[in-house]
Amino acid sequence: MNTPATTTLLSVRQLTMRFGGLTAIDDLSLEVPAGKITGIIGPNGAGKTTLFNCLTGFYKPTTGSLRLNHPRHGEIRLETLPSHRVARDAQVVRTFQNIRLFPKMTVLENLIVAQHNVLQRASKFSIAGLFNLPGYRRAEAESIARAATWLRRLGLEQLADHAAGELPYGIQRRIEIARALCVDPLLLCLDEPAAGLNPRESAELNDLLLYLSGELGLSILLIEHDMSVVMRVSDHIGVISYGRKIAEGTPEQVKNDPQVIKAYLGEDDDEDDSEQRTHAVAGGANP
Ligand SMILES: Nc1ncnc2c1ncn2[C@@H]1O[C@H](COP(=O)(O)OP(=O)(O)OP(=O)(O)O)[C@@H](O)[C@H]1O
């Protein structure tokens, strides 16, 4: 049996991002396949979040292109779009390193607020929403139904009426993912979703990511320092150091790559330490 060819969802081509004299991303090229999990790893300050910021319209790259192969709209040049259109039109949606839920709102309300674009359109940016016209009511009911679906799929439905800020940290991270899923992403960009999680929560995150990709066919771009997550769930990994791509391949290829081990833990001629360094990149420790 032939294995179906993988389609490229996103092509990052010769991307450079400079902040004054500092080059945060340096001539970076990377392909993100559709329906897979692509991990992006690299030491602190390597340029990973800057890549997400370029991708999601928060920064305008100095040079280079970000081409999204959208199944309905054809090629979309993400570098030309402001952030709200990256999310709304290109359906590239992100989470952030720090939790950005509305702590006093309930879990359900957080998921409905995330869909404000849909609700705004239904209100025709007028007082239709205030007068509760049928089109608006329908959109509102659909938003609630979509939120309820994702709460159920992510095992959060019992918590729908709890204030988000009062829930354990690991749950809040899961709510953030549910919130991103409510806006129907074509590409879900997760910035360190395992940050602050304990080992049990990290293992649950692994299961969730494998479910989203394996069962639902979602395309995920994952920045992560926790090697026990990234090596377990990624189909493909790109490694960045000082803004440049230094390696890419399967988790197995990347974790044994001498350049990667060196980038993470520096040069060391001591034979005993070299085994420890491989262990750290492979998931034995967080760098
Ligand atoms: N808005 C900005 N202005 C100036 N420098 C910036 C800006 N954003 C990022 N940088 C710099 O760009 C470099 C890359 O930062 P970035 O946050 O992308 O790294 P990272 O790989 O995500 O790091 P970490 O793993 O620690 O989150 C760093 O030197 C950082 O200080």
- What is the distance between the terminal CA atoms of the chain, rounded to a whole angstrom? 41
Residue 228 Cα to ligand 1 middle (Å):
23
Residue 47 Cα to ligand 1 middle (Å):
5
Atom of ligand 1 nearest to the CA of 97: 27
> What is the amino acid identity at position 224?
E
Question: Among the residues of 182-243, which ranges form H helices?
Answer: 199-210, 227-233
Write the CB contacts of 169 (distance below 8 Å, at least 6 apart in sequence). Answer: 99, 196, 197, 201
Highest mean pLDDT among 133-142, 225-234, 259-268: 225-234
- Provide the β-strand partners of residue 32: 10
185-209: average pLDDT: 94
Rounded Cα gap, residues 75 and 91, in angstroms: 13
Residue 23 Cα to ligand 1 middle (Å):
10
Query: Are residues 47 and 86 in contact, defined by beta-carbon separation less than 8 angstroms?
Result: no
Q: Specify the pLDDT at position 263.
A: 87
Q: Specify the pLDDT at position 98.
A: 81
Task: Output the six-digit token pair for 81.
Answer: 């779009």
Task: Output the six-digit token pair for 228.
Answer: 């026990």
pLDDT of 1 above 50: no
Residue 25 Cα to ligand 1 middle (Å):
9
Pocket of ligand 1 (CB under 6 A): 19, 22, 24, 42, 44-50
pTM: 0.87
Residue 258 Cα to ligand 1 middle (Å):
24
Q: Specify the pLDDT at position 143.
A: 87
pLDDT of 137 above 90: no
Residue 45 Cα to ligand 1 middle (Å):
5
| Residue of minimum CA distance from atom 25 in ligand 1 | 44
Average pLDDT, the chain: 87
Place 275 in a pLDDT band, splitting at 50, 70 and 90: low
| Residue of minimum CA distance from atom 6 in ligand 1 | 19
| Residue of minimum CA distance from atom 9 in ligand 1 | 50
Q: 128 or 103: whose pLDDT is higher?
A: 103
pLDDT of 3 above 80: no
Q: Which of 18, 19, 62, 227 to mutate to test the pocket of ligand 1 (most atoms within 8 A of CB)?
A: 19
pLDDT of 260 above 70: yes
Atom of ligand 1 nearest to the CA of 46: 21
Place 280 in a pLDDT band, splitting at 50, 70 and 90: low
Residue 211 Cα to ligand 1 middle (Å):
31
Query: Are residues 33 and 9 in contact, defined by beta-carbon separation less than 8 angstroms?
Result: yes
Q: 101 or 117: whose pLDDT is higher?
A: 101
Question: Among the residues of the chain, which ranges form H helices?
Answer: 48-55, 83-88, 107-113, 116-122, 134-153, 169-181, 199-210, 227-233, 251-255, 258-265, 271-279
Q: Specify the pLDDT at position 131.
A: 59
111-135: average pLDDT: 64
Residue 95 Cα to ligand 1 middle (Å):
16
| Residue of minimum CA distance from atom 11 in ligand 1 | 24
- Identify the three-state secondary structure at position 11: strand
What size, in residues, is the chain? 287
Centroid of chain to Cα 43: 18
Task: Output the six-digit token pair for 53.
Answer: 């910021």
Write the CB contacts of 33 (distance below 8 Å, at least 6 apart in sequence). Answer: 6, 7, 8, 9, 219, 235, 236
- Provide the β-strand partners of residue 16: 63
* Tens of pLDDT, residues 205-249: 999 999 999 999 999 999 999 998 999 999 999 999 999 999 999
| Residue given tokens 């692994």 in the structure block | 206
| Residue of minimum CA distance from atom 16 in ligand 1 | 47
Q: Specify the pLDDT at position 100.
A: 85
Residue 155 backbone zone (phi > 0: left; psi -120 to 50: alpha; other: beta): left
Rounded Cα gap, residues 142 and 57, in angstroms: 27
Q: Specify the pLDDT at position 24.
A: 97
Atom of ligand 1 nearest to the CA of 43: 25
Write the CB contacts of 226 (distance below 8 Å, at least 6 apart in sequence). Answer: 194, 195, 197, 202, 286
ipTM value, please give it.
Answer: 0.97
Question: Which domains, from first to last, does the chain contain?
Answer: 1-91+185-287 (3.40.50.300), 95-184 (3.40.50.300)
Query: Are residues 222 and 210 in contact, defined by beta-carbon separation less than 8 angstroms?
Result: no
- Provide the β-strand partners of residue 236: 38
Write the CB contacts of 74 (distance below 8 Å, at least 6 apart in sequence). Answer: none
| Residue of minimum CA distance from atom 7 in ligand 1 | 19
Q: Specify the pLDDT at position 138.
A: 75
Highest mean pLDDT among 39-48, 112-121, 265-274: 39-48
pLDDT of 16 above 70: yes
118-137: average pLDDT: 59
